[in-house]
Amino acid sequence: MSEYLIDVRNLKQYFPIRSGWFGVKAVDDVSFCIKPGETLGLVGESGCGKTTVGRTILHLYKPTDGHILYKGEPVTSETVHKYRQEMQMVFQDPYSSLNPRMTVSDIVGEPLDIHSLYSTKKERAERITELLSLVGLNSDHARRYAHEFSGGQRQRIGIARALAVNPEFIVCDEPVSALDVSIQAQVINTFEDLQQKLGIAYLFIAHDLLVVKHISRRIAVMYLGRIVEIADADEVITHPAHPYTQSLISAIPIPDPKTARTRKRIPLEGDVPSPLNMPSGCAFRTRCRYATERCAQERPPLAEIETHYEEPACSAAGHDDARFLRRRRHGRRGL
Amino acid sequence: MNEPLLQVKNLCTSFDVDSGEVRAVNGISFNLEKGRVLGIVGESGSGKSVTAYSIMRILVEPGRITGGQILFNGEDIVQYSKQQMREFRGKRVSIIFQDPMTSLNPVYTIGNQLREAILLHTDRNHEQANARALEMLQLVGVNEPEKRLKQYPYELSGGMRQRVMIAMALACEPDILIADEPTTALDVTIQAQILELMQSLQKKMGMAIIMITHDLGVIADMCDEIIVMYAGRICERGTADEIFYNPRHEYTKGLLRSIPRLDTGHTRLIPIAGSPVDLTNMPKGCAFASRCDNCMKICLSELPDELDINDFHKASCWMNVKQVYDEAAEDTKAVSLKKEGQ
């Protein structure tokens, strides 16, 4: 038995396109682990492959290469049906991820039907009521259709559906980005309560760093299909080591006028390169202020400090940033 | 004292739908001075975009302005004819929208769309308009501007498109720029680029900006003054510092409590309970009362007036009326004493 619940090793996911040999490298050699009951935040800009990582873990896409281990056992296309009782997903858009022609009890009950998790109809109904109350809805809601609910309530239905099979791991793909600020906090709290109550581990995918920092113990930062930095949540926010992370953190709009006025942004030039035409070496070098010749030649290795832990994948930062060097020697706390 | 550039007085905008009249904007008033940045913040459905559309008079049927005045330099634009409005839009006030993909015309080149506004509103001929378009693209930091003029919107990234939108909006040097969620569809690093661009252009060209967003971070970054809207009404207004450090309306307080912070350790978020109010069925008193933790009897029956907190700050909340608050506190005390007695 492995100490990790989810162990992703060298995951690659390429999508074929009409021209070219290899297609789009949506996820390119990504490795990380999640312990039971832990939350790993995954951040990055749109198109960086964070959603693809989440979907590939659940075998919604067949990975091009690499391994996904669940409690040390490999998850493959043949065995994935079994693992879907352990791993579930909550989707971004609460409007399109619920079937408009099904009642709430059908939506939440469907996983129970698929995995035959009940013996009598009464048991099924009781389980549905229990699930709805877990996410803060009541049994009256079970007979209604999805369109009768507000965005926040719909997202709760999505969470109840994911919880139906008693999973130990849930991929949350931008679960709060479609919601209003005041409702966002309600749903985030629901996620946290469920984790405390049921010990579920999350892969929490979002582009809002304030939300990710709030909910995650560790954060992984992705850029163009690769993880460029992964560390303790506070560490990533207070001492970002990769130049991309530094820019990202400095760009977060902070809801505090005094800080906003005094703080200095590290602007990024230009746009994200097309994943069809990736720069050689380090993918970030075209926008990096530290970029050297070496960055164009070789892809910076993921320096390992401890098993399953990567230092920021940047060689230039290592030369220019004394803080980076210091940390490389000492490793990082809490990992 | 100078007359404000834009005065909105008791503006009401309604949509007639099957289930009744939806009062999306319900009697709001505000002034915008020259060269200031005004932020309007609120949840979806609070009426912030409808306010912007009303000022531009681009409301889609069945929306209509049912009352109030919008004075631009003292002239009421609600009374303007279609022809007058065409001259007004783009030249005096322009708007940039949330989604730069759907707000650019996919079948015309960038250059074509930029020139259109310039030719319409200025005396420039075709060549001069082209030169102006090029100049604008350079100003907003689009690389290879000559090439971009011949390209179509789909060939540009989201951030680039939003830059083109800004270039188009500013080409005729308007006095007011309305930005309706200009960065919501963009990534955080691109958002930072666009906000910096807007700030630097604002300094350079001196126009006033109305910034509409639900993101309190963007508001804190950009705005001198802030208006907080809830259910079609203004519930609080003031300078940025006053709103963020001294909120006096329960809704604003709740909003500020419910966003995660970077600087503090892990504390549980305090959400605002319930869900936004149904606009077809507005309550009699304060619209926020049903979600408010400190709701008093009077909140359910009477709408609070806007009250001066200080020179730079106004809020519409009964909690600020000392007499009312004290009475309610007395009541609660009496009730709890009674309970204890039993």
Of A251, A252, A268, the CB nearest to B262: A252
Question: Shortest Cα distance from B264 to chain A (angstroms)?
Answer: 10
Backbone angles phi, psi at A235, to 5 degrees: -65, -45
Q: Listing from the earlier edge strand, what are the strands of the sheet with B6-17?
A: B20-32, B6-17, B63-72, B75-76
**pLDDT at residue B32 above 90?**
yes
Over 70: is that where the pLDDT of B290 sits? yes
Structural domain that includes position A198? 1-86+168-216
d(CA A7, CA A296): 30
Asked whether residue A4 falls in the same domain as residue A67, the answer is yes
- Using the beta-carbon criterion (under 8 Å), do A248 and B189 form an inter-chain contact? yes
Would the CB atoms of A255 and B220 count as touching at under 8 Å?
Answer: yes
Classify residue B143 as left (phi > 0), alpha (psi -120 to 50) or beta: beta
- A7, A77: one domain: yes
Residues A82 and A1 in one domain: yes
Instruction: Please state which of the ranges B93-102, B116-125, B137-146, B329-338 shows the lowest mean pLDDT.
Output: B329-338
Q: Report CA torsion sign: B20, B48, B137, B156.
A: negative
- pLDDT tens-digit map of B44-88: 888 999 999 999 999 988 899 999 999 999 899 999 999 999 889
Edge-to-edge order in the sheet of strand A201-205: A87-90, A169-173, A201-205, A39-43, A218-223, A226-232
Average pLDDT score over residue span A256-260: 87
In a domain, residue A264? The reply is yes
Do A190 and A155 form a contact (C-beta atoms < 8 A)?
A: no
Reduced to 3 states, what is the DSSP secondary structure of residue B289?
helix
Domain assignment present for residue A10? The answer is yes
Q: Is residue A332 part of a domain?
A: no
Q: B149: buried, middle or exposed (CB in 10 Å: 19+, 13-18, 0-12)?
A: buried
Is A299 among the domain residues? yes
> What backbone torsions phi and psi does residue A77 show, to the nearest 5 degrees?
-60, -30
Name the nearest CA neighbour of B230 among B214, B209, B246: B214
Question: Over the stretch A20-69, which tens digit does the pLDDT of each residue have?
Answer: 666 788 898 899 999 999 999 999 888 888 999 999 999 999 999 999 99
Considering the domain boundaries, does residue A233 fall inside one?
no
Q: Are residue A23 and residue A115 in the same domain, yes or no?
A: no
Write the burial class of residue B196 (CB in 10 Å: 0-12 exposed, 13-18 middle, 19+ buried). middle
Q: Are residues A44 and A183 in the same domain?
A: yes
Longest dimension (CA), chain A: 68
State the total domains in chain A: 3
CA B12/CA B68 separation, integer angstroms: 6
Residue-wise pLDDT for B154-213, tens only, equals 888 888 898 899 999 998 889 999 999 888 878 888 888 889 899 999 999 889 999 999
Give me the residue from A185, A248, A255 closest to B217, CB to CB: A255
| 3-state secondary structure (DSSP) of residue A76 | coil
Q: What are the phi and psi torsion angles at A217 (to 5°)?
A: -90, -40
Residue in A83, A74, A127 with CA at minimum distance from that of residue A105: A127
Rg (CA), chain B: 22
Give me the torsion for CA of B89, B95, B100, B103, rounded to 10°: -30
- AA identity, residue A3: E
Q: A282 and A300 in contact (C-beta within 8 Å)?
A: yes
Asked whether the predicted pLDDT for residue A318 surpasses 70, the reply is no
Which neighbouring-strand residues pair with A70?
A6, A73
Q: Are residues A247 and A287 in the same domain?
A: yes
Structure-token pair, residue B133:
């378009």
Phi, psi (deg, nearest 5) at residue A181? -50, -45
3-state SS class at B313: strand
d(CA B57, CA B59): 6
Contact A188/B at CB under 8 A:
yes
A1 & A68 share domain: yes
Token readout for B98 is 């949330």
Q: Which residue among A185, A210, A272 sits closest to B271, beta carbon to beta carbon?
A: A185
Cα B106 from chain centroid? 27
Q: Is B101 or B27 the better-scoring residue by pLDDT?
A: B27
A196-200 — which CB contacts under 8 Å span 24+ positions? A197/A134, A198/A163, A198/A166, A199/A36, A199/A37, A199/A168, A200/A37, A200/A167, A200/A168, A200/A169, A200/A170
Query: Are A19 and A47 contained in the same domain?
Result: yes
pLDDT, position B239: 94
Q: Tell me, yes or no, if A177 comes closer than 8 A to chain B by beta carbon.
A: no
A71 with A125, same domain: the answer is no
Q: Is residue A210 one of the residues assigned to a domain?
A: yes
B-contacting residues in A 2-61 (Cβ below 8 Å) = 45-46
Based on the fold, state whether residues A210 and A157 are members of the same structural domain.
no
**pLDDT value at residue A109:** 94
pLDDT digits (tens, 9 = 90+) for A134-166: 998 888 889 999 988 888 899 999 999 999 999
Q: Please report whether residue A253 resides in a domain.
A: yes
A96-105, A219-228, B97-106, B128-137: least confidently modelled range: B97-106
Query: What pLDDT, on a 0 to 100 scale, did the predictor assign at position A96?
Result: 87
Band (pLDDT 50/70/90 cuts) for residue A309 is very low
> Does some domain include residue A38?
yes
Check CB contact under 8 Å for B192 and A267: yes
Could you tell me if A209 and A248 are in contact, meaning their C-beta atoms sit under 8 angstroms apart?
yes
**Does the beta-carbon distance from B43 to A180 stay under 8 Å?**
yes
B38 within 8 A of B211, measured Cβ to Cβ = yes
**Which residues touch B43 (CB under 8 Å, ≥6 apart)?**
A180, A181, A182, B214, B230, B276
- Tally the residues of chain A: 335
Q: Is A183 on the interface with B (CB under 8 A)?
A: yes
A:58-117 residues touching chain B, CB 8 A cutoff: none
- Alpha-carbon distance of A121 to A127, in angstroms, equals 10
**Tokens found for residue A307:** 């098993």
Q: Give residue A266's pLDDT.
A: 86
User: Pairing state of beta strands A218-223 and A39-43?
Assistant: parallel
> Whole-angstrom Cα distance, residue A318 to residue B301?
65
For residue B322, what are the contacts with CB-CB under 8 A and spacing of at least 6? none
Q: Are A9 and A63 in contact (CB under 8 A)?
A: no
Record: contact B275-A150, CB cut-off 8 A: yes
Helix (H, G, I), strand (E, B), or coil: what is residue B163? helix
A35, two tokens = 């312990």
CB contact under 8 A, A265 and B192: yes
Q: Which amino acid is at A180?
A: D
CB–CB contact B217 A150 (8 Å): no
Residues A144, A277, single domain; the answer is no
Contacts B160 to A, Cβ<8 Å: 271
In 3D space, the residue among A189, A221, A264 whose CA is nearest the CA of residue A53 turns out to be A221
Q: What global pTM score does this model have?
A: 0.85
Under DSSP, is residue A231 helix (H, G, I), strand (E, B) or coil?
Answer: strand
- A157 and A176 within one domain: no
Q: Is B160 helix (H, G, I), strand (E, B) or coil?
A: helix
Structure tokens at B252: 């604003």
Q: Is the pLDDT of residue A306 over 60?
A: no
Chain B neighbors of A213, CB-CB under 8 A? 260, 262
DSSP state for residue B305 in the 8-state scheme: P
Position B11 scores a pLDDT of 95
